[in-house]
C-alpha cells in the first residue's frame, strides 16, 4: 500500500488535476497545497476537502499588476507558498512538488526523512535558463552566458529530490547530462483526456490560406522568433498561410518584434474552453517551435483534435509528433530547411489531412490520460519499492 502523498502547486496549471486524480486512483492522495484561491482548484474537479490554499502573494501580485504599482512591490509567490507549507507539522510522508516552489522547500524537508518528489515539465534548470538565452541571442536581443545564482540555487535544491517525474525522454536526457542519478528519474510522459479534445471535422484547405495555430505564451522561449521567420519565408515564397496566435504576449520585446514583421499573422489573445476548441477546429496545422519544453500539452491537445504539429527538435514535442507522419521536425529554422520540410506539406492539403489523422492515432496509442495514470502508478510503486 502506498503512503499518503501531499502535492504542492504554486499555480493553477490547467492540466493540474491529472496528477491529483492519478494519486486518488492509487488511494494515496493527501492534501493539495496551492498558491491560488481555493476555487481555482475545486472548479477543476478536485474535492474541496483535500485543498488548502494560501493565495496571499498571488492575489497581491494580481492587484499590483492591475493597478500598475512598481515592480519592486511584487511578492515572491513560490517563496511565500513554501514558507506557509513549511509551517504545517502534519505533512504527509511524501511531498510532490511542481513548478519552482521546491527551491525554498526541499532543504527544509530533507532532514525530516520525507520522500521528495519533483514533477518536471521542462528541462534541467541549467538548460531551461540557457535555452532561453539562446532564443534571445538568435532573435538579436541582449543575452547572458552567465548562470545566475538563482539558477545555481535551484540546481542545488533539485539535487535533493528523491525522485524526478520526467514528462519526456528529452527531459530525462537533460537531467542525465547534468549528472542526475538515473535511478531517481521516472518516466511519466504526459497524457490528455482525448474526449475533451475529440477528432474535429475540418475542410480540406483549397482556395484559401493554410491556417496554422500557435497556442500559449507568445515569447522567446516558445519560439516566437522562429514563427516569425516561417511566416516571412512563406510570404516571400508565395505560400498562402495564416498564423493564428492564441495567448498573451510575454513582454514588450516580443510585441515589438511581431509589430515589425510583415508575415501574415493574427493575434487572438487568450482563449479558453469552447472558444479555444472552436479555434482549433478552424486550423489546418499546429505549430510550437519552442527552444525549451518538456512535452507541451498544447501539442498533445492539438494532435488529439486531428492536427499535425510542426515542432522543434529542441523539445519533447518531437517525441509525440513523428516526423513526416504526424508532424514536421525542424532543427535549423533556415529557408533551406523550410523549403525542404515545410513546402511539400503546405502545397499538399490532402497530406495535411492525412497527417492530422495520424496525429490523432498517435495520441490514442501513446498519450491518453489512462496511459498517464499507468505511468504514475509504475513510478509510485518504484519510488516506494512496491513489487
User: Average pLDDT, stretch 113-119?
Assistant: 97
Given a cut of 90, whether residue 15 has pLDDT beyond it is no
* Spatial separation of the C-alpha atoms in residues 116 and 102, rounded to whole Å: 9
* Spatial separation of the C-alpha atoms in residues 238 and 201, rounded to whole Å: 28
* Spatial separation of the C-alpha atoms in residues 296 and 303, rounded to whole Å: 11
* Spatial separation of the C-alpha atoms in residues 374 and 379, rounded to whole Å: 9
* Chain Cα centroid distance, residue 149: 24
User: Average pLDDT, stretch 11-27?
Assistant: 86
Decide: 162 and 383 in contact? Cβ < 8 Å: yes
pLDDT of residue 16: 75
pLDDT of residue 23: 97
* Closest to 108 in 3D by CA, of 89, 123, 135: 89
User: Average pLDDT, stretch 97-120?
Assistant: 96
- Alpha-carbon distances, residue 165 vs 15, 62, 135, 259 (angstroms): 15, 30, 26, 39
Question: Which are the contacts of 54, defined by CB distance < 8 A and separation ≥ 6?
Answer: 33, 34, 35, 80, 81, 84
pLDDT of residue 291: 96
Comparing 6-20, 28-42, 224-238, 363-377, which segment has the lowest mean pLDDT? 6-20
pLDDT of residue 93: 96
pLDDT of residue 309: 98
Given a cut of 90, whether residue 11 has pLDDT beyond it is no
For strands 115-120 and 265-267, give the pairing: unpaired
Position 12 confidence tier, pLDDT thresholds 50, 70, 90: low
Query: How many CB atoms sit inside 10 A of residue 37's CB?
Result: 14
pLDDT averaged over every residue in the chain: 95
Decide: 81 and 33 in contact? Cβ < 8 Å: yes
Q: How do residues 197-240 score in pLDDT, each as one tens digit?
A: 999 999 999 999 999 999 999 999 999 999 999 999 999 999 99
Given a cut of 70, whether residue 14 has pLDDT beyond it is no
Burial of 141 (0-12, 13-18, 19+ CB in 10 A): middle
Q: Higher pLDDT residue, 56 or 16?
A: 56
Given a cut of 80, whether residue 160 has pLDDT beyond it is yes
User: Average pLDDT, stretch 115-127?
Assistant: 96
User: Average pLDDT, stretch 80-85?
Assistant: 97
User: Which grid coordinates belong to 99?
Assistant: 513548478
* Spatial separation of the C-alpha atoms in residues 112 and 278, rounded to whole Å: 49
* Spatial separation of the C-alpha atoms in residues 380 and 23, rounded to whole Å: 9
Q: How do residues 293-325 score in pLDDT, each as one tens digit?
A: 999 999 999 999 999 999 999 999 999 999 999
* Spatial separation of the C-alpha atoms in residues 295 and 177, rounded to whole Å: 18
* Spatial separation of the C-alpha atoms in residues 180 and 162, rounded to whole Å: 11
- Alpha-carbon distances, residue 118 vs 2, 81, 150, 158, 159 (angstroms): 17, 16, 18, 8, 10
Sign for the CA dihedral angle at 104, 109, 111, 116 comes to negative
Position 273 confidence tier, pLDDT thresholds 50, 70, 90: confident
Question: Which are the contacts of 62, defined by CB distance < 8 A and separation ≥ 6?
Answer: none
User: Average pLDDT, stretch 121-141?
Assistant: 95
User: Average pLDDT, stretch 122-143?
Assistant: 95
Decide: 120 and 128 in contact? Cβ < 8 Å: no
User: Average pLDDT, stretch 262-270?
Assistant: 95
Position 387 confidence tier, pLDDT thresholds 50, 70, 90: very low
Per cent of the chain over pLDDT 70 is 99
Position 386 confidence tier, pLDDT thresholds 50, 70, 90: low
Amino acid at each position: 500500500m502506498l503512503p499518503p502523498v501531499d502535492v504542492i502547486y504554486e499555480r493553477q496549471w490547467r492540466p493540474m488535476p491529472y496528477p491529483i486524480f492519478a494519486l486518488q486512483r492509487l488511494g494515496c492522495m493527501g492534501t493539495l497545497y496551492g498558491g491560488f484561491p481555493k476555487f481555482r482548484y475545486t472548479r477543476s474537479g478536485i474535492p474541496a476537502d483535500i485543498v488548502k490554499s494560501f493565495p496571499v502573494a498571488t492575489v497581491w501580485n494580481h492587484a499590483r499588476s492591475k493597478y500598475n504599482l512598481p515592480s519592486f512591490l511584487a511578492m515572491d509567490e513560490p517563496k511565500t507558498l513554501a514558507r506557509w507549507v513549511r509551517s504545517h507539522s502534519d505533512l504527509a510522508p511524501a511531498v510532490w512538488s511542481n513548478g519552482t516552489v521546491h527551491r525554498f522547500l526541499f532543504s527544509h524537508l530533507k532532514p525530516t526523512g520525507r520522500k521528495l518528489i519533483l514533477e518536471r515539465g521542462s528541462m534541467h534548470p541549467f538548460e531551461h535558463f540557457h535555452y532561453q538565452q539562446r532564443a534571445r541571442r538568435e532573435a538579436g536581443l541582449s543575452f547572458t552566458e552567465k548562470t545566475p545564482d538563482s539558477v545555481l540555487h535551484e540546481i542545488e535544491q533539485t539535487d535533493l529530490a528523491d525522485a524526478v517525474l520526467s514528462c519526456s525522454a528529452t527531459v530525462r536526457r537533460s537531467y542525465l547530462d547534468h549528472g542526475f542519478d538515473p535511478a531517481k528519474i521516472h518516466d511519466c510522459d504526459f497524457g490528455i483526456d482525448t474526449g475533451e479534445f475529440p477528432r474535429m471535422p475540418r475542410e480540406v484547405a483549397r482556395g484559401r490560406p493554410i491556417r496554422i495555430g500557435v497556442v500559449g505564451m507568445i515569447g522567446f522561449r516558445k519560439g516566437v522568433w522562429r514563427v516569425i521567420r516561417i511566416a516571412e519565408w512563406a510570404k516571400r515564397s508565395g505560400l498562402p498561410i495564416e498564423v493564428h496566435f492564441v495567448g498573451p504576449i510575454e513582454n514588450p520585446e516580443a510585441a515589438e518584434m511581431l509589430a515589425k514583421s510583415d508575415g501574415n499573422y493574427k493575434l487572438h489573445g487568450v482563449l479558453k474552453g469552447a472558444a479555444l476548441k472552436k479555434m482549433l477546429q478552424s486550423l489546418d496545422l499546429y505549430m510550437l517551435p519552442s527552444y525549451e519544453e518538456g512535452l507541451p500539452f498544447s501539442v498533445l491537445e492539438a494532435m488529439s483534435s486531428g492536427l499535425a504539429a510542426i515542432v522543434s527538435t529542441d523539445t519533447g514535442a518531437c517525441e509525440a509528433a513523428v516526423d513526416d507522419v504526424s508532424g514536421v521536425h525542424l532543427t535549423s529554422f533556415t529557408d533551406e530547411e523550410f523549403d525542404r520540410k515545410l513546402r511539400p506539406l503546405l502545397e499538399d492539403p490532402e497530406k495535411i489531412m492525412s497527417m492530422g489523422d495520424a496525429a490523432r492515432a498517435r495520441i490514442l496509442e501513446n498519450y491518453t490520460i489512462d496511459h498517464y495514470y499507468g505511468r504514475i502508478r509504475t513510478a509510485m510503486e518504484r519510488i516506494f519499492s512496491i513489487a
